[in-house]
Amino acid sequence: MSRDQLLAEARIAMQAARYNLKLLRKHPEKILPGQRQHVEGQLLQLIEFAKWEKKNARRAGRTSSRTCLKDLFMSILPQTLRGVKERV
Rg (CA), the chain: 20
Contacts by residues 43-50 (CB-CB < 8 Å, ≥ 24 positions apart): 43/17, 44/17, 46/13, 46/14, 46/17, 47/14, 47/17, 47/18, 47/21, 49/10, 49/13, 49/14, 50/10, 50/11, 50/13, 50/14, 50/17
User: Is 47 in the same domain as 71?
Assistant: no
Could you tell me the residue range of the domain that residue 8 belongs to?
Answer: 3-57
User: Is 11 in the same domain as 36?
Assistant: yes
Number of domains in the chain: 2
User: Is 31 in the same domain as 53?
Assistant: yes
User: Is 11 in the same domain as 47?
Assistant: yes
Distance between CA atoms of residues 81 and 83, nearest Å: 5
State the pTM of this model.
0.54
User: Is 12 in the same domain as 31?
Assistant: yes
Per-residue pLDDT of the chain (88 residues; tens, 9 = 90+): 676 777 788 788 888 888 988 988 898 888 887 888 888 888 888 888 888 877 776 665 555 666 767 777 777 776 666 665 555 5
